[in-house]
Amino acid sequence: MKPPAPTIRHRRDPTHDSGYKLLYAHAAMVRDLLTGFVPGDWVHSLDLSTLERCSGSYITDDLRDRADDLIWRLRWGEEWLYVYLLLEFQSTIDPWMAVRIQTYLGLLYQDLIRAEQLSAHGRLPPVLPIVLYNGAQVWNAAETLEPLIEPAPPVLADYRPQQAYLLLDEQCLAKAEQAPTRNLSAALFRLEASRSAEHALTIVRTLVDWLKEPEQSSLRRAFAVWFGRVFLPKRLPGVSVTPMNDLSEVYHMLADNVETWTDQWKQQGLEQGLEEGRETTRHILIRQARRRFGPEIAEQSQPLLARISDPDQLEELADQLLLSPDGDTWLTQLKRAP
């Protein structure tokens, strides 16, 4: 088995990460993520009223300082169930995600042991690891450790580590026909996938209606901050947005500008669609280079392909990849590309 190529990690967007982390620091968002998107009837036996975020008291600096994860727990019967939520917004998919998850959960378990946060029977609690993915590419990383480890003699089968995670791909979930309706996380995913100012305005109006109660003011503000710092700059680059502190301000701002922004929003949507297409083509070329010439050539191809934005040039390179007799020839063709 050929191992996945080492991934060149694209720089994370700290604004996007912090915006989502602010949203999922609210129990209502985690509740709707669990009830709306975690498969199985067993979710109905969770005591959602006991949801509490784990922070500070016994989570190590390794986990506490990580900008892309959150840890929650809630009651499942008489015991605690932990939810490990990893926010993944990088444009490059990590083929070793299952290994990362195993490492993070090992750190969590070490701290639970140190803090004596064990079950009534002295055992570790179950953990549900969720990867919330927001990238444009179709997720193709292994969702378990099994395919990442070479086969071994049967006598060693009992010693192979096992780890899986639940992948929640926002792009797929937003387009699902049976997506939950009155669900805060589903509304967030639909906003991310919206292609028009009118569609976004409709979703924001719905959120304003759902989040009317005074005790929901913190979540209203979290949505407003995410909308102003992440969502609008991505849809309308260059447009100056006044800081907003409540979701109702977002609604009125959108309503006042929907006609003005419609054309620009559509143009940005077209450009975003084109970039997603280019990114998909680059991903296919890297995968084919890995299959033909090995992981080292694929790794060297990645930054060279990243600088090419012309779709016709990328298509021409696909032909060159098939015709190149070896990896060095392929890399030479890449370097010559305008």
Residue 55 domain flag:
yes
- Token pair in block for residue 22: 């602010």
* Domain end residue (candidates: 143, 177, 211): 177
Q: How many CB atoms lie within 10 A of CB 286?
A: 21
The reported pLDDT for the residue numbered 312 is: 76
* Domains in the chain, number: 2
Distance (Å, rounded) from C-alpha 318 to C-alpha 320?
Answer: 5
Residue 53 in domain = yes
At 46, which amino acid appears?
L
Reported residue count of the chain is 338
46 and 169 housed in the same domain: yes
Query: Could you say which residues of the chain have pLDDT below 70?
Result: 1-17, 55-67, 90-91, 177, 259-277
Q: Where are the beta strands (DSSP E) in 166-235?
A: 166-169
What gap in Å lies between CA 4 and CA 148, rounded to an integer? 8
Q: Is the dihedral of CA 12, 14, 18, 20 positive or negative?
A: negative
Question: In the listed set 146, 177, 208, which residue is the last one of a domain according to the structure?
Answer: 177
- The answer to whether 54 and 72 are in contact (CB under 8 A) is yes
Are 219 and 26 in contact by the 8 Å Cβ rule? The answer is yes
Q: In the prediction, which pLDDT does 11 show? A: 44
User: What's the Cα-to-Cα distance from 47 to each of 13, 44, 50, 78, 121, rounded to whole Å?
Assistant: 34, 8, 6, 10, 20
How many CA atoms lie less than 13 Å away from 43 in the CB half-sphere? 14
Beta bridge partners of 129: 84
Asked if residue 147 is part of any domain, the answer here is yes
| Same domain assignment for residues 137 and 17 | yes
pLDDT of residue 286: 85
Residue the block writes with tokens 């179709």: 138
- The parent domain of residue 31 ranges over 1-177
Contact yes or no for 98/144 (Cβ under 8 A): yes
Structural domain includes residue 19: yes
- Same structural domain, 205 and 148: no
Does residue 227 contact residue 252 with C-beta atoms inside 8 Å?
no
Residue 185 lies in a domain: no
Say if residue 90 is in the same domain as residue 233: no
Decide: 239 and 197 in contact? Cβ < 8 Å. Answer: no
Same domain for 169 and 37, yes or no, is: yes
What would you report as the CA-atom Rg of the chain, rounded to the nearest whole angstrom? 22
Residues 144 and 225 in one domain: no
End-to-end CA distance of the chain: 35
| 171-220 confidence digits (pLDDT tens) | 888 877 677 788 999 999 999 888 777 888 899 999 999 999 999 999 99
Q: Which residues pair with 132 in a beta bridge?
A: 87, 168
**Within this chain, do residues 112 and 240 fall inside the same structural domain, yes or no?**
no
- What pLDDT is attached to residue 1? 46
Same domain, 324 and 277: yes
157 in the same domain as 40: yes
- CA distance readout (Å), 89 to 1, 10, 109, 221: 28, 10, 25, 22
